[in-house]
Amino acid sequence: MTQPFPVFDLSAFEQGDASEKKRLGEVVDAICRETGFLAIRNHGVPQTVIDAVWANARAFFDLPAEEKQRVRAPYKGYPYGYLGPELEALAKSRDVDSPPDLKESFNGGPLVQPASITDPEALAFCYAETIWPERPDGFVDAWKAYYAALEDLAARVMRLFAVALDLPETYFEPFINTPISALRGLNYPKQHVPPKPGQLRAGAHTDYGSLTILLPQAGSKGLEIITPDGQWTPVPPVDGAFVINIGDLMARWTNDRWVSTLHRVVNPSPDEGGMARRQSLAFFHQPNWDAQITVLDACLSPGEVAKYPPVLSGPYLMSKFKATTA
Ligand SMILES: O=C(O)CCC(=O)C(=O)O
Ligand SMILES: [Fe+2]
């Protein structure tokens, strides 16, 4: 990377006057044109909310395999519940055949279903029920509290993005007032046997939606991005911050002014003992099921035409998602 990994102070933006907001928006625009990956600190999510979901996710992954299987996704392509080891290869989303990722996950969808949603595809996919575990005790409450906090944070980051694109700060609000975001708890187990050739913790992929808010295990390594020079480059741990990145839908929305950068999670390095467990939480923010995503005029210079036709957020996500489950 030409610059050190960027760390952005969200409260400085939120408390800034119009000119300060504009200045900070320009900083974010430059980052999103280069990699679309940055850390955000002073994000306002209470540490108690983070600690509770973290501990509950850990305790869930520590349960016996049979118990976790009780809340597994009931069929291939079902988006929520437990997805055990060896069931997903993210590289397949790019048509790259690869061994399955060395991870397990628990996935949950929107906390409320708006009455206006009647499309059977929406009801069967992103509004499918999250299959909750019975244990640990506090899991459901802690999960929901974190989901709600991150939904709010994502909406605030979208305001920052609007300013960065020279749009009114609330521009995205009608597109994201009933979002279909998903939260994923990830566990990369301690590695007792060497990986197969080409097998990673998460194969190289881009995210699909508008914005991902990632919480990697404090101090942990493994997440890497491709920087504009074409090199795999580690994302350093940043204490107390979330890592955010834009996904394919936001790149499309901006006519590729912003980039949805390829990233992966590599196996633990020998200096970390070569096998260390790693945990993370990934919140995939996604606009309303029926939000029409049309290339933004603000991203077209005079006379320039959009590279992409409009798409609907939900069906777009569904088509991307179905490519990666084994
Ligand atoms: O666990 C991580 O650090 C990243 C996971 C990721 O990129 C994903 O699940 O999309
Ligand atoms: Fe990702």
Q: What is the pLDDT along the chain (326 residues), one digit of tens a residue?
A: 456 899 999 999 999 999 999 999 999 999 999 999 999 999 999 999 999 999 999 999 999 999 999 999 999 889 999 999 978 888 888 888 888 999 999 999 999 999 999 999 999 999 999 999 999 999 999 999 999 999 999 999 999 999 999 999 999 999 999 999 999 999 999 988 889 999 999 999 999 999 999 999 999 999 999 999 999 999 999 999 999 999 999 999 999 999 999 999 999 987 777 789 999 999 999 999 999 999 999 999 999 999 999 999 999 999 888 766 54
CA of 242 to the centre of ligand 2 (A): 13
* Eight-class DSSP state of 268: P
Atom of ligand 1 nearest to the CA of 105: 9
Torsion over CA: 154, 159, 162, 168 (sign): positive
CA distance 170 to 254: 16
Scan for tokens 């521009």, then name that residue. 171
What is the model's pLDDT at position 72? Answer: 96
How deeply is 200 buried, as exposed, middle or buried, from its count of CB atoms within 10 A (0-12, 13-18, 19+)? buried
The residues lining ligand 1, judged by C-beta closer than 6 Å to any ligand atom, are 184, 186, 202, 207, 214, 216, 223, 263, 265, 280, 282
The torsion angles phi and psi of 137, rounded to 5 degrees, stand at -45, -45
Integer Cα distance of 297 and 305 in angstroms: 9
CA R_g for the chain: 19
Q: Distance, CA 280 to ligand 1 centroid (Å)?
A: 7
The pLDDT, as a whole number, for residue 153 is 98
User: By alpha-carbon position, which residue is closest to atom 8 of ligand 1?
Assistant: 282
Looking at ligand 1, which atom is closest to the CA of residue 216?
Answer: 3
pLDDT at 2: 53
Q: Give the tokens for residue 184.
A: 């994923």
Which pLDDT value is given to residue 140? Answer: 98
Quote the pLDDT of residue 1. Answer: 47
User: Could you identify the atom of ligand 1 that is nearest to the CA of residue 284?
Assistant: 10
* Probe target for ligand 1 pocket from 186, 232, 246, 267, with the most ligand atoms within 8 Å of CB: 186
pTM recorded for the entire structure? 0.96
User: How far is Cα 49 from Cα 26, in angstroms, rounded to an integer?
Assistant: 31
Domains of the chain (ranges plus CATH)?
Answer: 7-322 (2.60.120.330)
Task: Compute, in angstroms, the gap from residue 19 CA to the centroid of ligand 1.
Answer: 35
CA distance 178 to 181: 9
Sign of CA dihedral 177, 254, 45, 23: negative
